[in-house]
Amino acid sequence: MKVASVLIPLPVQEAFDYEVGEGLDLARGDQVAVPLGPRLMRGIVAEVRETTGSNRRLKAVEALLEDPRLPERTVDFVEWAARWTLSPPGEMAATALKGLRAPRPRPERKLRRVGDRTPNRPTPGRTAVLEAIGERAMPGPELARAAGVSSAVVKGLVDEGVLEAFEVEALAAFDRPDPDHKPATLNADQAAAAEALAAATTVGGFKPFLLDGVTGSGKTEAYLEAVARTLKADPEAQVLILLPEIALTQALIERITKRFGAAPAEWHSGVAPPRRRMAWEAVVAGRCNIVVGARSALFLPFPSLKLIIVDEEHDGSFKQEEGLVYHGRDLAVARARIEGSTVVLASATPSLETLWNAHHGRYGWLKLATRHGASVLPEISLLDLRQSPPDPQTWLSQPLREAIGETLLAGEQTLLFLNRRGYAPVVLCRACGHRMTSPDTDSWLVEHRYTGRLVCHLTGFSMARPKLCPSCGAEDSLVSVGPGVERVEEEVRQLFPEARTAVFSSDTIPDPKAMRAMIQRMTDGEIDILVATQAAAKGHNFPGLTLVGVVDADLGLRGGDLRAAERTFQLLTQATGRAGRADKPGRALLQTWTPEHPVLMALAAGDRDAFVEAEMAEREAASLPPHGRLAALILSSEDANAVERIANDLATAIPNAERLEVYGPADAPLGLIRGRRRKRLLVRADRDVDLQGFLRSWLSRVKVPGSVRLTVDVDPYSF
Ligand code: ADP
């Protein structure tokens, strides 16, 4: 008897076995319908095997679905990813089918000529139509526009049988990229990097690289050349480019379209479902060469993936923390290993993990030393707020105000960076000291002036700003404490009433369209002073921007978590790197109360190596990543006692292990979210310890009831 083990999207660690009926020819990667209780479920065949005379009564596979079979290596990858992250393999596999859950786009209607038939009554309009269409096929409205006639003229030709309409599957819509369409002339560093990458993809086999170059050094240009060469050597090759944020995809897609004369497929949660379906089908059929996407694009079923590029690889947004918990950068490297392909991690401020791998020769290290062309990095200075403190209830010091004034006079643009949404991060009562907090959640309410509401950034809860203090009832006693971007903009408007100002944050830019519009206004010089969170600090090029002011350079350093220093260094490098891209030199001013902080000193000196060396030494002393590994177990439930109990059960069931310690249980950093109590246990292990094996054996010893949710976070990004 033949048995298939099938991956079904359920929160369990195993595949399910089904009998394979006579005449059903199944293979790994096939999509099947299988019965589960009263329902039929879609599953992916992981394995088919012969068994002899088992007397267990297995249910039978109901049907082989007509949907495409997943490539073998895609199944290898999802199974590996599930084992690595301790996630249910069926749920991991389901992420590879996401594009199938959308309706197909409707087929497109196009017109073409019928043989060499000519119109009975040629008119200038009709002749123009026939000239415009030639031997091609075109949609009717486009044809009418090209010929400069009304749609009635085109319709007349169809009625007469000179043109005929036919339907094209929208699937054919991904044009082949042309590697020679508009190549750039690369400088020596770029050419060397592109050459090394192209050599790797042509030879094949797993080859990881770090592409390391300051902002504006031309990393994108270099890797696009590697894409071109890869496609030249193998027209069937597929390339995946991952970006940390959806907001960055549009600019890259435009660049790729210009470079290759064809648009790539786009893959992220913001893409309309029919278009996602189209991309999914084109990818699995090998009819799409370039995909630009967010981390979930890693699970697309590429049959011929030759090159993966992870741009801004250091970015924490690659970590998915809801649902399946995984790091997109790490899984990209794993996928490349499984596919036997090249992976490029690109950044101006690589993560310490990636630098560690490059230092130890595990990754090839390609360096772009200088900015492209005449453009130079901005001059970075620290403004010591102890010397020139801002006036009470204001946030911009005198030197920064002057710099903004000078920039305005020169007709140039300023970016004021503050990584805090809203108007004020805290609202408290002057009479009794009560702080406005989110209900059932460990979080303060953030005041937003645009909407006039107090908002919880964790849960989305919001309320009108009350007149009376909800604790002591005092009237008009609530005060806004500290600045967010809206408050800094208010100050800017008062100081420079004639300047054109705008706020750029996820609240003022709710969707990709608004984002594009704002970026366009900034690019076109229609904004003088932009007050922005990190939403604007990453990736964008604003040619007229010559001054970046960091309102609170100490902000990220106060957190005290493992990556606080690293993250702040990266973010401020990105933010200050926005200044002076084109022919105008830029400068960056960082307001700080702690100018002696090593992170800020390294930033001001432009000395990344100094920062990395110091930070690496600290991590080594504490055996923390990348010198050791971490994993977190988070328990959460509305039943606080159950969380307590399971946390203690886990604490008493820790298996013996060498070079590994468990800390906790303790309250998780966010101890209460929406009424769910959260506890955490943290595991630290030396690099060569089998951390996953330890976690598996540990978790097998404790039964977690349905009322408690257990999240396993291997290699946590933040905590
Ligand atoms: P990075 O990805 O390192 O930030 P980009 O590739 O975006 O850098 O390049 C920065 C700017 O310099 C872009 O405007 C890009 O078009 C331009 N540029 C980079 N390399 C070249 C080149 N070889 N020829 C012409 N322009 C280039």
Q: What is the 3-state secondary structure (H, E, C) of 420-484?
A: CCCCECEEEECCCCCECECCCCCCECEEECCCCEEECCCCCCEEECCCECCCCCCECCEEEECCC
CA distance 101 to 276: 9
Regarding predicted confidence, which is higher, 54 or 297? Answer: 297
Pairing verdict, β 305-311 and 342-347: parallel
Query: Is residue 358 within 8 Å of 324, Cβ to Cβ?
Result: no
Mean pLDDT of 662-688: 93
ipTM value, please give it: 0.97
Query: Is residue 197 within 8 Å of 224, Cβ to Cβ?
Result: no
Query: Is residue 90 within 8 Å of 96, Cβ to Cβ?
Result: no
Ligand 1 atom 19: residue of nearest CA = 218
DSSP 162: S
pLDDT at 583: 73
pLDDT at 241: 98
Q: Ligand 1 center to residue 257 CA distance, Å?
A: 15
pLDDT at 210: 98
pLDDT at 18: 95
Mean model confidence pLDDT for the chain:
92
Regarding predicted confidence, which is higher, 685 or 511? Answer: 685
pLDDT at 719: 63
- The top-scoring range by mean pLDDT among 480-494, 531-545, 668-682 is 480-494
pLDDT at 199: 97
Q: What is the pLDDT of residues 403-438, one digit of tens each?
A: 999 999 999 999 999 999 999 999 999 999 999 999
Q: Ligand 1 center to residue 655 CA distance, Å?
A: 53
Burial state string for 67-82 with b = 16 or more CB within 10 A and e = fewer than 16 = ebbbbebbbbbbbbbb
pLDDT higher than threshold 90 for residue 631: yes
Q: Which pLDDT band holds residue 33 (cuts at 50, 70, 90)?
A: very high
Residues listed for the chain: 719
Question: Cα dihedral angle (27, 275, 179, 201), rounded to 10 degrees?
Answer: -40
Q: Ligand 1 center to residue 379 CA distance, Å?
A: 20
Q: Is the dihedral of CA 223, 225, 228, 234 positive or negative?
A: negative
Mean pLDDT of 286-311: 97
pLDDT higher than threshold 80 for residue 104: no
Q: What is the pLDDT of residues 216-243, one digit of tens each?
A: 889 999 999 999 999 999 999 999 999 9
pLDDT higher than threshold 60 for residue 253: yes
Question: Cα dihedral angle (232, 233, 235, 236), rounded to 10 degrees?
Answer: -150
Strands (E), 12-113: 16-20, 31-36, 39-50, 63-64, 108-113
Half-sphere CA count of 605, side-chain side, radius 13 A: 13
Regarding the beta carbon of 480 and ligand 1, being less than 6 Å apart is answered no
pLDDT at 171: 56
Tell me the three state secondary structure of residue 253: helix
Binding residues for Zn(2+): 429, 432, 456, 469, 472
DSSP 599: H
Mean pLDDT of 453-479: 94
Regarding predicted confidence, which is higher, 303 or 250? Answer: 303
pLDDT higher than threshold 60 for residue 314: yes
Half-sphere CA count of 339, side-chain side, radius 13 A: 30
Regarding the beta carbon of 184 and ligand 1, being less than 6 Å apart is answered yes
Mean pLDDT of 644-663: 95
Q: Which pLDDT band holds residue 158 (cuts at 50, 70, 90)?
A: very high
Neighbour-count burial of 685, counting CB atoms closer than 10 A to its CB (0-12 exposed, 13-18 middle, 19+ buried): buried
Q: Ligand 1 center to residue 218 CA distance, Å?
A: 4
Mean pLDDT of 306-331: 95
% of the chain at pLDDT higher than 90: 79
Q: Which pLDDT band holds residue 94 (cuts at 50, 70, 90)?
A: very high
Regarding the beta carbon of 372 and ligand 1, being less than 6 Å apart is answered yes
Candidate from 220, 223, 227 with most ligand 1 atoms within 8 A of CB, to mutate? 220
Which of these, 271, 277, 268, lies nearest to 317 by C-alpha position?
Answer: 268
User: What's the distance, CA 81 to chain centroid?
Assistant: 18
CA distance 491 to 393: 9
Q: Which pLDDT band holds residue 106 (cuts at 50, 70, 90)?
A: confident
A 10 A CB-CB count for 150 gives 11
Q: Is the dihedral of CA 626, 627, 628, 630 positive or negative?
A: negative
pLDDT higher than threshold 70 for residue 54: no
CA distance 308 to 285: 18
> What is the residue whose two structure tokens read 């192209």?
198
Ligand 1 atom 15: residue of nearest CA = 218
Q: Ligand 1 center to residue 176 CA distance, Å?
A: 24
CA distance 641 to 652: 17
Q: Which pLDDT band holds residue 100 (cuts at 50, 70, 90)?
A: confident
Which of these, 14, 4, 57, lies nearest to 34 by C-alpha position?
Answer: 4
Mean pLDDT of 86-106: 88
Mean pLDDT of 361-380: 86
> 675: which residues sit within 8 A by CB, 6+ positions away?
440, 441, 638
Candidate from 189, 214, 221, 314 with most ligand 1 atoms within 8 A of CB, to mutate? 221
Pick the atom of ligand 1 nearest to 539's CA: 4
pLDDT higher than threshold 80 for residue 372: no
Query: Is residue 1 within 8 Å of 18, Cβ to Cβ?
Result: no
pLDDT at 431: 95
Query: What tokens were used for 192?
Result: 């060397």
Q: Ligand 1 center to residue 370 CA distance, Å?
A: 11
Q: What is the pLDDT of residues 472-531, one digit of tens each?
A: 999 999 999 999 999 999 999 999 999 999 999 988 887 778 888 898 999 999 999 999
CA distance 310 to 295: 9
Q: What region does 613 belong to: left with phi over 0, alpha with psi -120 to 50, or beta? A: alpha
Q: Which pLDDT band holds residue 170 (cuts at 50, 70, 90)?
A: low
DSSP 48: E
Mean pLDDT of 591-604: 95
Binding residues: 429, 432, 456, 469, 472
Regarding predicted confidence, which is higher, 577 or 656? Answer: 656
Candidate from 372, 377, 573 with most ligand 1 atoms within 8 A of CB, to mutate? 372
pLDDT at 581: 66
DSSP 60: B
H/E element holding 83? Answer: helix 72-85
Ligand 1 atom 9: residue of nearest CA = 218
CA distance 84 to 96: 17
